[in-house]
Amino acid sequence: MANILLVEDDEKILKMLSLRLRLKGHRIDQAENGQIGVEKALTGQFDAVLMDMHMPILDGHEATKKLRSENYRGLIIAVTASVMSRETDVAIEAGCDGFIAKPITADFETRVEEFISNFELQDSDQT
């Protein structure tokens, strides 16, 4: 299964998403803010980074921009309660490859797995 970095400042959401993904067999690493998330993403090997967009210290937009400026080429999925088209556009402009809306729905794990599969297919097409 996938190795996923979950960057989320809300401890309850972090635990719930980690548990749900682990139950599907994924390996989860966690970061409680964007700064720690950037450090872990740049030093680890992840199939996906699930990035909350609204966090203290370094929000998801800035964390994603920082990762992309450091040539991070991995999959970054915005996880946000702001699903207004302008907000999702800003996440994509920051460098996210897609987004999943909060509140988290029953198909969360399936959506994450689809993003990873599609990203791997695109990556193999480019090599």
Predicted pLDDT of residue 58: 94
- Is the per-residue pLDDT at 126 higher than 80? no
Q: Which CATH number fits domain 3-126: 3.30.360.10, 3.30.70.20, 3.40.50.1970, 3.40.50.2300?
A: 3.40.50.2300
List the 98-101 sheet strands across, edge first. 27-31, 3-7, 48-52, 76-80, 98-101
- 3-class secondary-structure state, position 116: helix
* Tens-digit pLDDT profile for residues 67-114: 999 999 999 999 988 666 677 888 999 999 999 988 899 999 999 999
